[in-house]
Amino acid sequence: MTPLNHIDNYPPDVYETLISTLEDMKQGKPLGVNFKGVITVPLDVKALYRILSPDPNHWPVFVDKMSDMWRHSPTFTKTDLAQIEAPTLVVSVDHDEFLPPEVFEATAESIPHSTLDRIPKGTHSVPVEYPAKVNRMLLDFLDTE
């Protein structure tokens, strides 16, 4: 799976907001994460990293790499997406913490040979939350191509 940063669907300041959020993360500030569209809870990402990481002291390097990734990720306009000739599966979810459903729809509409499929209860972590559904979608998509 490859996420496409579809620049036409974001407000102009979205990347600056992401970088600012990553700077807050580096300083250990909790983030407000919307949980499945129901409640926003503070998430202490740094504390979670300390628990899950084999090297908790690697935190500043991790955040720097995330910041660098967002600063240098390619962005695509609708014109760019219209040039994609390969059959493309776009998986939409209703509870992505970062992207509204319209982004998935607009992305699929912009790619000529795309298929839009949906996991209604999914979030940004849909491959981890629903691996069997995502795998089935991918296999079904590949079988039709």
pLDDT of residue 140: 94
Q: How far apart are the first and last CA of the chain?
A: 16
Q: Which of 11-15, 67-71, 115-119, 124-128 has the highest mean pLDDT?
A: 115-119
What's the number of domains the chain is made of? 2
d(CA 12, CA 130): 32
Q: Is the pLDDT of residue 7 over 60?
A: no
Answer whether residue 137 is part of any domain.
yes
Strands (E), 13-123: 31-35, 39-43, 75-76, 88-93, 114-119
Q: Is the pLDDT of residue 43 over 60?
A: no
pLDDT of residue 38: 45
Average pLDDT, integer, range 8-21: 53
User: Are residues 60 and 99 located together in one domain of the fold?
Assistant: no
pLDDT of residue 35: 46
- Domain holding 109, by residue range, is 76-144
Answer whether residue 1 is part of any domain.
no
pLDDT of residue 24: 67
User: Are residues 102 and 48 located together in one domain of the fold?
Assistant: no
Work out the mean pLDDT of the chain and round it to a whole number: 75
User: Are residues 40 and 85 located together in one domain of the fold?
Assistant: no
Average pLDDT, integer, range 65-72: 73
Distances (CA, A) of 101 to 12, 111, 121: 18, 16, 12
Q: Is the pLDDT of residue 16 over 70?
A: no
Q: Is the pLDDT of residue 93 over 50?
A: yes
Q: Is the pLDDT of residue 34 over 70?
A: no
